[in-house]
Amino acid sequence: MSNKSKQFNTIAIHGGNSGNSQHGSLTTPLYQTSTFTFQTAEQGEQRFAGNEDGYIYSRLGNPTVTLLEERIAMLEGGEAGLAFGSGMAAVSAVLLALTKSGDHILCSKGLYGCTFGLLQLMEEKYNILHDFSDMDSEEEIISKLKPSTKCIYIETPINPTMKLIDIENVVNVARRYNLLVVVDNTFSSPYLQQPLTMGCDVVIHSATKYIGGHGDVIAGLVVGKKDLLQEINTTTRKDIGGVMSPFDAWLLLRGLKTLPVRMDRHCENAAQIASLLKEHENVENIYFPGDIESPDYDIMRKQMKKPGGLISFTIKGTKKDSQTFLNKLQLIKIAVSLGDTETLIQHPATMTHAVVPEEARLEMGITDNLIRLSVGLEAWEDIWNDLNQALSGLK
């Protein structure tokens, strides 16, 4: 980016080497190709040997994907980025690259259901162990460490309870014990939170969500230090092969251009809806980092730009009442995922976290009457009118 701007909004549009100059294309070119030709056999040899820069095969690198990796690294304040075919491809590549049989991962108590399932698989098949921690204090984190602990893996905000982890506490412990810190930053996007600037080592995104922003792409992104990401790239990404297609990278580059504008509207709408849900007679509790009465409000103010666009809440009722409420909605769509222009709502206990055994799920705070709401970009009044009529229809 020629002007060397450090402003987020500008980097989101112009960051990285766009490669547009040859024909003057304003929009980033889409290099929709599986392989690349060499001028000579000797050139092919040099590229495979790593002695010459250039592209070989799109599983190993592609100009459109490279630009996305450069841009997300700039937005997160990291040295390098890696793109993957899904958020879970990113999570699995990172955790498998950082651990071996006999190692231990300490995790925040509360994770996306498929991340929970991956950790179970890694333990059963490869003897890579894990434990969960509330991470409410440095002492509590330390009490859960083992000699074999290799990294600390956290979500903040946690899916779907919206609990926040104090990143400063985690980093302080990690530095003392020479551990890597991996943060799933999906719920915040780099616009609201930049864990690398707080001392973390790796940031992961399900780019399907806010970074894409339009519900039309499945993708994952990883950002961190160049040497560490090169290790991940040359092992679990290259050889397992969970790579991103050029077209998906092109869609994400388009989505990034409006990320700051969209996030501002998501946050504004969520703040309005949270305040109204909190007062509704059929709502038991709300879980929203922007609620001044939230126990995590001070953490939010310390490490997030804004509280985000997600709200979880419990209704006064049972699992059946929760499903009845969802079925009464008219504008809001019942769907997993989040960060779309549309407002989406789901029932974590039977949907995104159905894989989690009931005992573990309840310990995470995922009850049968918990609802997760991804507030979209519609007029907040229309979102609220739909929620209100469905809630008021409950007995």
- CATH number of the domain to which 277 belongs: 3.90.1150.10
% the chain with pLDDT above 70: 97
Angle at Cα 317 formed by Cα 313 and Cα 323, nearest 5°?
Answer: 75
Residues 80 and 181 both lie in one domain: yes
End position of a domain, from candidates 257, 290, 319: 257
Residues 6+ away with beta carbon under 8 Å from 280 = 388, 391
Q: In which band, very low, low, confident or very high, does the pLDDT at 238 lie, cut at 50, 70 and 90? A: confident
User: Residue 40 has which token pair?
Assistant: 């000579």
Residues 12 and 106 both lie in one domain: yes
- Please write the tens of the pLDDT for every residue from 53-85: 999 999 999 999 999 999 999 999 999 999 999
- Please write the tens of the pLDDT for every residue from 286-308: 999 999 999 999 999 999 999 99
Residues 300 and 320 both lie in one domain: yes
Give domain status of residue 68, yes or no: yes
pLDDT reading at 1 higher than 70: no
Q: Which domain holds residue 360?
A: 259-392
pLDDT reading at 229 higher than 70: yes
Helix (H, G, I), strand (E, B) or coil at 182: strand
Name which of 12-26, 67-81, 180-194 the model is least confident about.
12-26
Q: In which band, very low, low, confident or very high, does the pLDDT at 20 lie, cut at 50, 70 and 90? A: low
- Please write the tens of the pLDDT for every residue from 298-336: 999 999 999 999 999 999 999 999 999 999 999 999 999
Q: Higher pLDDT residue, 184 or 5?
A: 184
Residues 227 and 95 both lie in one domain: yes
Residues 229 and 340 both lie in one domain: no
Distance of alpha carbon 372 from alpha carbon 352, whole angstroms = 10
Helices (H), 285-367: 297-303, 319-328, 358-363
Distance of alpha carbon 325 from alpha carbon 316, whole angstroms = 11
Q: Note the pLDDT of residue 2.
A: 46
- N-term to C-term CA, the chain: 58
> Would you say how long the chain is, in residues?
395
Of 212, 165, 197, which is closest to residue 73 (Cα–Cα)? 197
Give domain status of residue 39, yes or no: no
What are the DSSP calls for 199-237, one per residue? T-SEEEEETTTTTT-SS----EEEEE-HHHHHHHIIIII
Sheet holding 180-184, edge to edge: 80-84, 220-224, 202-206, 180-184, 149-155, 104-108, 129-133
User: Residue 388 has which token pair?
Assistant: 């209100």
- Please write the tens of the pLDDT for every residue from 87-99: 999 999 999 999 9
- The mean predicted confidence, pLDDT, of the chain is 95
pLDDT reading at 23 higher than 90: no
Active site residues: 59, 112, 184, 209
The tally of domains found in the chain comes to 2
Give domain status of residue 372, yes or no: yes
Alpha carbon dihedral 311, 291, 166, 367, in 10-degree steps, equals: -40
Q: Note the pLDDT of residue 18.
A: 63
pLDDT reading at 25 higher than 90: no
